[in-house]
Amino acid sequence: MTSRGMPGRAPPEKFVLVHAEELATLRGGNGKPRSRERMNDLGLVKDGAVAVEEGARLLGEAGISQLRAKSRELTEYLIALADEWLAELGFAVASPRATARRGGHVSLRHDDAWQLCEALLRAGVVVDYRTPGRIRLAPAPIWTSFAEVWDGMDRLREIAASKSYTDMPPEQPDLT
């Protein structure tokens, strides 16, 4: 639903913005990302401003007010699914329920949030862990569909109901 916000972790393949062949050239021999200067030297980044300009153009085409409206609808839908499917599994909505007070993400509270986040990431659902005991879901309105919100929440429901997350480490490591 959003790219992972934890430093030192790569996003799932689904969200990588380069082709797999190009990805190998973006990493050095040690597997760590190359510096921007090195990528420029290799001709991999011709002009970073081009990407920014294209992103701004796409946002302008979509329209900020339309994106905010879709963001509100996505988060309302996410909360409705959480209320219907997850409350009986120990979840509570931790974000403001009033649309005007809520941004483009929803936090769900659960005692096993860390393990659930790890299990969701393993299952291809992109979430962030927030302390204390929060799962943050942020459906980006420019590319996230209502079907993807349903799929992600259904996956969370399946993982929580089956307790398939219990094989994940129970605590967040000091460094992630």
Q: Give the tens place of pLDDT for each residue, 21-74.
A: 454 555 555 555 545 455 455 555 555 666 677 778 888 888 889 999 999 999
- The DSSP letter of residue 132 is T
- Give me the chain's average pLDDT, please: 79
Which one has a higher pLDDT value, 16 or 112? 112
Final residue in a domain of this structure, among 40, 62, 84: 62
**CATH number of the domain encompassing residue 89:** 3.90.1150.10
Q: How many domains does the chain have?
A: 2
Residues 75 and 158 in one domain: yes
Query: What gap in Å lies between CA 142 and CA 145, rounded to an integer?
Result: 9
**84 and 154: one domain?**
yes
78 and 154 assigned to the same domain: yes
- pLDDT tens for each residue of 134-162: 999 999 998 899 999 999 999 999 999 99
Q: What is the CA radius of gyration of the chain?
A: 18
Tokens standing for 141? 């309105």
CB-based contact 71:56 (threshold 8 Å) = no
Of the residues 46, 62, 78, the one at which a domain ends: 62
Could you tell me which of 124, 31, 62 has the C-alpha nearest to residue 23? 31
- CA of residue 141 relative to chain centroid, distance: 12
- Average pLDDT value for residue range 1-29: 44
